[in-house]
Amino acid sequence: MTPDEPARPGAEGGHRLPGCYRHPERETGIACGRCGRPICPECMVSASVGFQCPECVQDGNREVRQARTRFGGLPVADGALVTKTLIGLNLLVFVLTEYVRPEWWDTLALQSLAPPNWYTEYGVAAGPDQWYRLVTAMFVHSGVVHLVMNMVSLWVLGPQLEHVLGRVRFLGLYLASGLMGGAVSYLVAGAHLNSVGASGAIFGLLGATGVLFKVTRTPLGPLIALLVFNVVITFSVKAIDWRAHLGGLIAGVVTGVGLMYAPPARRGLVQGLTVAGVVVAAALIVVLQTARLNG
Q: Give all strands (DSSP E) within the chain, no chain letters.
A: 8-9, 15-16, 45-46, 51-52, 110-112, 193-195
The Cα 182–Cα 247 span in angstroms is: 7
C-beta separation of 186 from 285 below 8 A: yes
Catalytic residue among 112, 177, 195, 199: 199
112 is catalytic: no
Given the residues 141, 146, 163, 245, the one annotated as active site: 245
Concatenating the DSSP letter of every residue in 30-90 gives: -B-TTT--B--TTT-EE-SSSEE-HHHHHHHHHHSPPP--TTSPPP-S-TTHHHHHHHHHH
How many CB atoms are closer than 10 A to CB 31?
A: 18
Residue type, 73: G
Beta bridge partners of 51: 46
Tell me the sheet residues that pair with 16: 8
Alpha-carbon radius of gyration of the chain: 29
Cα-Cα-Cα-Cα dihedral of 187, 143, 99, 90, to 10°?
A: -60
15 labelled catalytic: no
9 three-class SS: strand
What CA–CA distances, in Å, run from 184 to 114, 179, 285?
Answer: 18, 9, 8
Phi first, then psi, for residue 239 (nearest 5°) are -75, -15
Catalytic positions are 199, 245
